[in-house]
């Protein structure tokens, strides 16, 4: 083999490894990350890992308790609970642990944050009104509103993916049951009815199902799913103490906490309960996973807020304001044919004419008339 061939082969190996690394990075981005809490370094801290259990990284480092992490929809931030100020407050930080901010800073306890799908708001439970209530605030901590407003205890809020609903837990009917309400607090509806505890509710990405924890079948806790209206309850796990389910961004898998190996660890299973896999494995406690931040096209914008989730467009340019980015929009300007009028998908144009698509073109005249 000549020297030139050796050099060529060496560069070929480097390029092949680089391509493989790029592919792995893209695959990891497509699946998002899982944030969780752990005592592996002596006290409760926030960690994150890839959905296959690799790359487990510690994100907080404080002698106080840091717990209940939740990823923002785009994967850029993590909200969590900490008592580092002397009482429980909601904090937010970048996904790498930097830029820590106390959002609530209130003398009463604040717990269980949940991001809205666009990342602009956070729901949480608080004792600030004398009993546990569900509150919603802007992501910067401003404009806190009590949305549940009930004399009983309300707990564990979680937004639906479209932001229209909040599912939560309440003891208002004598024991802990799951309820849903509109995001402004109206339309509060009971979804479960069982003498045993039901809690930890979370919506599937398409909003059709709710995963939750229940003690209804005699165990100390198992993972169940039901339809969004409370019907069709199905038990997914059958072992001692399983709780805190979280759906994968594509809805095909569920991560959860289990005590089945005599220690709290994070597990993964298919959304139908099959193929249970242990994700963490150490002698300390790992708990409360939150799965989010999928970025299928790898452009740094999470799928839930990306106007072209399958085509990279970090600038999110959308010239016609129809919610579909330029790079994947079939029509990026005023319609020039009746077919474009029918299928363009926009809502309003100003070029300079105002044109509204009401779902079908009743009449189309070329030229914007």
Do residues 225 and 207 lie in contact, with contact meaning Cβ atoms separated by under 8 Å? no
Domain coordinates of the chain in residue numbers?
1-31, 32-292, 317-369
- The dihedral through the CA atoms of 273, 279, 282, 286 has a sign that is negative
Please tell me the distance from the alpha carbon of residue 159 to that of residue 182, in angstroms, as a whole number.
Answer: 10
Vertex 368 angle, CA 365 and 369, to 5°: 65
pTM of the prediction?
0.79
Which distant-in-sequence residues (6+ apart) come within 8 Å of 273 by Cβ? 223, 234, 235, 236, 237
Do residues 330 and 344 lie in contact, with contact meaning Cβ atoms separated by under 8 Å? yes
Counting every residue, how long is the chain? 369
Please tell me the distance from the alpha carbon of residue 224 to that of residue 54, in angstroms, as a whole number.
Answer: 27
Superfamily of domain covering 32-292: TolB, C-terminal domain (2.120.10.30)
Residue whose structure tokens are 């994100």? 59
**What string of pLDDT tens digits covers the 369 residues of the chain?**
554 554 445 444 444 434 433 433 344 456 789 999 999 999 999 999 999 999 999 999 999 999 999 999 888 899 999 999 999 999 999 999 999 999 999 999 999 999 998 899 999 999 999 999 999 999 999 999 999 999 999 999 999 988 999 999 999 999 999 999 999 999 999 999 999 999 999 999 889 999 999 999 888 899 999 999 999 999 999 988 999 999 998 899 999 999 998 999 999 999 999 999 999 998 999 999 999 877 777 777 777 778 887 888 888 888 777 788 888 887 676 555 555 554 444 444 444 444 444 344 444 433 443
């Amino acid at each position: 083999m000549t020297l030139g061939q050796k050099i060529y082969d060496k560069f070929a190996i480097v390029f092949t490894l680089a391509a493989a690394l790029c592919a792995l990075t893209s695959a990891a981005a497509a699946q998002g990350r899982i944030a969780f809490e752990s005592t592996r370094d002596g006290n409760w801290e926030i960690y994150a890992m890839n959905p296959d259990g690799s790359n487990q990284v510690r994100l907080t480092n404080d002698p106080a308790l840091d717990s209940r992490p939740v990823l923002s929809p785009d994967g850029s931030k993590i909200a969590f609970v900490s008592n580092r100020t002397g009482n429980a407050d909601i904090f937010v930080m970048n996904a790498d642990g930097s830029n820590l901010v106390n959002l609530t800073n209130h003398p009463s306890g604040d717990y269980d944050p949940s991001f809205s799908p666009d990342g602009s708001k956070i729901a949480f439970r608080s004792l600030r009104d004398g009993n546990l209530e569900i509150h919603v605030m802007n992501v910067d901590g401003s404009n806190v509103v009590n949305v549940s407003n009930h004399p009983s205890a309300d707990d564990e809020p979680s937004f639906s993916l479209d932001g229209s609903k909040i599912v939560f837990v309440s003891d208002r009917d004598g024991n802990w049951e799951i309820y849903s309400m509109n995001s402004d607090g109206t339309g509060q509806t009971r979804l479960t009815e069982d003498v045993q505890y039901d809690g930890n509710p979370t919506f599937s990405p398409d909003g059709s199902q709710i995963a939750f924890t229940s003690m209804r079948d005699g165990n100390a806790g198992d993972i169940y799913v039901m339809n969004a209206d409370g019907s069709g309850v199905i038990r997914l796990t059958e072992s001692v103490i399983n709780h805190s389910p979280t759906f994968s961004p594509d809805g095909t898998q569920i991560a959860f906490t289990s005590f089945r190996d005599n220690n709290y660890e994070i597990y993964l299973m298919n959304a139908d309960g099959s193929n249970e896999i242990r994700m963490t494995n150490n002698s300390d406690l790992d708990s409360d996973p939150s799965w989010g931040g999928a970025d299928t096209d790898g452009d740094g914008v999470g799928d839930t807020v990306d106007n072209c989730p399958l085509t990279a467009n970090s600038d999110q340019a959308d010239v016609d304001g129809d919610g579909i980015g330029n790079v994947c929009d079939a029509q990026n300007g005023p319609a020039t044919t009746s077919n474009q009028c029918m299928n363009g998908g926009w809502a309003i144009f100003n070029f300079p004419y105002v044109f509204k698509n009401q779902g079908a073109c009743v009449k189309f005249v070329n030229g914007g008339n």
